[in-house]
């Protein structure tokens, strides 16, 4: 196809997409006009039924927990595919790989940057744990908290370097965390089946609304999701950082 033909094809496709987009936007309700009856039902019943105060967690990890299991496995499959692909490519390279970032270590990190980065990583780690543990009480969840925990390890790399990053996040341990978090979600569902309930049915004691130990299986599922997401993010960071390692330092990774 000629250049003019490709341009005409793009213009026609872009015009069609823009028309559909404008059509969809024109059908949106006015600002502040809420048309979600299911949301009203959840707000009215979830606190009494599940003894939690975060409605998003009630939906994601209880009322539609099976759907969330599929969403978690999307991330797990993506991380697994990325790791297998990049590791296979590196194993097939006979000569030393090209340095994709030759000037990365040109300037040393100052002591102030190192200490500030470590302090920030510590606070970020604590905040991530808080988001995961309190997901049934306050906004957040295993997905959000896991991403924050993964970022805390990345801050260690930015503050100190690659070796420190690998020290605080060993590859074997992160592989185990990713797999355990993904498998733990399914095992919770199998456990409820063995207990005589439906798959992922909330069968644990609900406790007192507002307490940390409440909401039955919701905080448990949040923990395994946070474990899987944090392990998955750290594995992705590690694989991408490995791609930019200098050839002379590959053996140190």
**Mean pLDDT (the chain, rounded):** 87
What beta strand segments (E) does 107-197 contain? none
The three-state secondary structure class of 174 is helix
More confident residue, 53 or 89: 53
Predicted pLDDT of residue 252: 46
pLDDT band at 104 (very low <50, low <70, confident <90, very high): low
pLDDT at 103 over 80: no
pLDDT band at 91 (very low <50, low <70, confident <90, very high): low
Q: Rounded to a whole number, what is the largest CA-CA distance in the chain?
A: 69
pLDDT at 95 over 60: no
Q: Enumerate the domain spans of the chain.
A: 36-252
In angstroms, rounded to a whole number, what is the distance separating the alpha carbons of residues 106 and 85? Answer: 30
- Count the Cβ atoms, other than its own, within 10 Å of residue 82: 15
Predicted pLDDT of residue 90: 64
In angstroms, rounded to a whole number, what is the distance separating the alpha carbons of residues 135 and 57? Answer: 7
Q: Region 176-185: what's the mean pLDDT? A: 92
């Amino acid at each position: 196809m000629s250049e003019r033909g490709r341009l005409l094809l793009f213009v026609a496709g872009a015009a069609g997409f823009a028309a559909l987009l404008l059509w969809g936007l024109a059908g949106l309700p006015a600002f502040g006009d809420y048309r979600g009856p299911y949301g009203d039902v959840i707000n009215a019943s979830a606190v009494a039924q599940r003894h939690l105060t975060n409605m998003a967690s009630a939906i994601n990890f209880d009322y539609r927990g099976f759907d969330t299991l599929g969403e978690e496995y999307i991330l797990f499959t993506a991380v697994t595919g990325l790791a297998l692909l990049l590791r296979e490519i590196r194993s097939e390279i006979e000569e030393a790989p090209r340095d994709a970032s030759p000037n990365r270590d040109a300037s040393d990190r100052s002591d102030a940057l190192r200490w500030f980065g470590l302090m920030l990583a510590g606070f970020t780690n604590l905040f991530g744990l808080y988001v995961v543990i309190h997901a049934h009480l306050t906004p957040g969840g295993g997905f959000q908290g896991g991403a924050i925990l993964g970022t805390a390890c990345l801050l260690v790399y930015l503050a100190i370097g690659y070796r420190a990053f690998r020290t605080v996040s060993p590859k074997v341990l992160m592989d185990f965390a990713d797999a355990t978090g993904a498998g733990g979600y399914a095992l919770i569902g199998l456990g409820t089946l063995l207990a005589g309930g439906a798959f992922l049915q909330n069968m644990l004691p609900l406790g007192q609304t507002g307490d940390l130990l409440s909401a039955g299986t919701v905080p448990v599922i949040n923990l395994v999701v946070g474990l899987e997401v944090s392990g998955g993010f750290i594995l992705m960071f590690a694989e991408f950082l490995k791609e930019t390692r200098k050839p002379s330092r590959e053996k140190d990774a």
